[in-house]
Amino acid sequence: MDIVRWKPKLVYSESVNSLQESHTLPRYSMLKLHHHFGQTLVFSACFIATGGCDSLERITPRNIDNMSEKGPILGIASNGNPASDVTDRRRLIDSYVEYWPLISSEDQHERLPKVLKDPIPELRAFGVERVAILLRDGEALDEELQLVVKLIKDKYQTVQITAAKLLPEINVVDLVEQSDGTTIGLSEFVALALKDEERQGIAALELEFFQTRPHPDAVDPSISRLRSGPVGPAAKTLFALLNADMVSDDQKNRIFKHVQRSHLSISKLPSFITLNAMLSAMLVDTKVQQELIPLLKSPDKSIAMAVDQGFASAGFAEHETILYGPDSIQDLIEQKALDAEDDPDWDAAVFAVAIKLDITSLIHADDMLKDRDMSSLRHSILQAVDAYQEEDLLTRRFNAAIAASEWDAAEATRTVPEPWIEAWKLKADEPTTADAIKKQIILRFQDKLTASERELLDPVDVDVSPEQNP
């Protein structure tokens, strides 16, 4: 296909590698993407009529930093008409969205570093989203991930948000190259960014990173965020850091003093209350403990759960049976029955309470969770408790693992095929689940099956190849 030459409207003189030669983007635009298989693929971009392009809503990211309010950007020669420039930029991004998936994976990897460094912020954000897709497919390269991490310091908010949201998924990057050529650990880099970040929304995402990936360097920036905000995410991060035993005694005292001096409106945040309860137990401040204990019966369940979680995480369970007895956990579980949405805070509170129950109370709580089909939470709780010698608890642990499809954990509990076969029989009215259990039995116990068990299972008809292993 020949490239149609139009009168220049917008010149990309420093464009990314996907647009290797200076070219024009007219109102009826064409996007030329060079393909490294000895040929050039030319694609038509969206056709723009007088009324505009009907594909504008497909531009990613959708929030593009109030594009119409931006001034000239390096790499773009303006035609003097701001409205026209905005439309042209939108068409460029739309063309990338439309045609990037059509180039080979190898070609994408070759071009992505320059896309992530492009002077046009929308293209940098687009590059991050493409890396996210590759990352979830297990194909992202370290160089690409390092560039994404560095974009959490980008001056454009959309680019920052897109990069910061991906942080919890980035596990393969150990070092990030800094502007001076030195390298620094991923967590240290994010901690430095958190310290200097001015946008509350970006700081919240950086704090969330440390809630699942705690690191000592995050402690001081998180303490500062209790004062400057965002307070809720900062309190949750400090809770995670305390749980991971990464906070010194001096830092604990600093946090606790700040919590006690906080404004009343802030002190009512559930995450703040959890932090207060946890530190009061850790530092054995009985005065604050006694102030918080009545909140366990608060009609506001979020407040009651917050105190419960904080006390339980610090091991403060022996002084008041009201805190963690069967009635307390029953209240927590019944609350979940009324709220079908996933709630990690609720899961954490139930987990913290359940692992400190005596065996009788734990079995009662496990029955309640089983009735509400909370298989993953049951499995996590039963994995964490120490009383594995209890036969009833062993059986419950096995059943919870089966229900959650945690096959290795189930085998660690029951190492012979008979309990597995019984579990398979019980799922006869659920063909998909029964078939999954059956495959695991054959895969794991083929040498231990008796002749009658083999005949019962009829393994000839069962595909247990690795690709079919759920």
Task: Read off the pLDDT of each residue in 126-149 and give the average, rounded to a whole number.
Answer: 92
pLDDT at 429: 82
Q: How many Å apart are CA 236 and CA 3, to the nearest integer?
A: 55
Predicted confidence (pLDDT) at residue 393 exceeds the cutoff of 60: yes
Structure confidence by residue, pLDDT tens digits, 330-383? 766 776 655 556 777 677 777 777 777 777 777 778 888 888 888 888 877 877
DSSP code of 386? S
d(CA 152, CA 219): 19
Biggest alpha carbon–alpha carbon distance for the chain: 84
Task: Report whether pLDDT(12) > 90.
Answer: no
Task: Quote the tokens at residue 218.
Answer: 């995050």
What is the pLDDT at residue 345? 66
Domain residue ranges of the chain, discontinuous segments joined by +: 1-170, 416-470
Q: Is the pLDDT of residue 447 over 60?
A: yes
Range of weakest confidence among 16-20, 34-38, 154-158, 320-324: 34-38
Rounded to 5°, the CA angle 146-125-342 comes to 85
Judge whether residue 238 has pLDDT over 90: yes
Kindly report the number of other CB atoms within 10 A of residue 449's CB atom. Answer: 18
What is the per-residue pLDDT for 411?
Answer: 84
Does the structure show a pLDDT above 50 at 64? no
Residue 76: phi and psi, rounded to 5, are -120, 125
Q: How many residues does the chain have?
A: 470
Angstrom distance (rounded) from CA 247 to CA 239: 10
Query: Contact 278/314 with Cβ under 8 angstroms?
Result: yes
Question: Do the bridges between strand 11-12 and strand 76-77 make them parallel or antiparallel, or are there none, so unpaired?
Answer: antiparallel
* 106 half-sphere exposure, CB direction, 13 A CA radius: 3
Lowest-confidence range among 110-124, 206-220, 313-327? 313-327
Q: How far is CA 377 from the centre of its chain?
A: 18
Secondary structure, 3-state, 417-433: HHHHHHHHHHCCCCHHH
258-287: pLDDT as tens digits: 999 887 667 788 999 999 999 999 999 989
- Phi–psi pair at 243, nearest 5 degrees: -60, -35
pLDDT score for 148: 95
191: pLDDT strictly greater than 90: yes
The torsion region of residue 52 among left (phi > 0), alpha (psi -120 to 50) and beta comes to left
> Does the pLDDT of residue 172 top 70, yes or no?
no
Distance CA 452, CA 145 (A): 54
Residues 6+ apart with CB under 8 A from 6: 24, 26, 27, 28
Burial degree of 231 (CB within 10 A; 0-12, 13-18, 19+): buried
Query: Taking a C-beta distance cutoff of 8 angstroms, is the pair 392, 363 a contact?
Result: yes
Confidence of residue 43 (pLDDT cuts 50, 70, 90): very low
Mean pLDDT of the residues in the chain: 75
Residue 328: which pLDDT band, with cuts at 50, 70 and 90? low
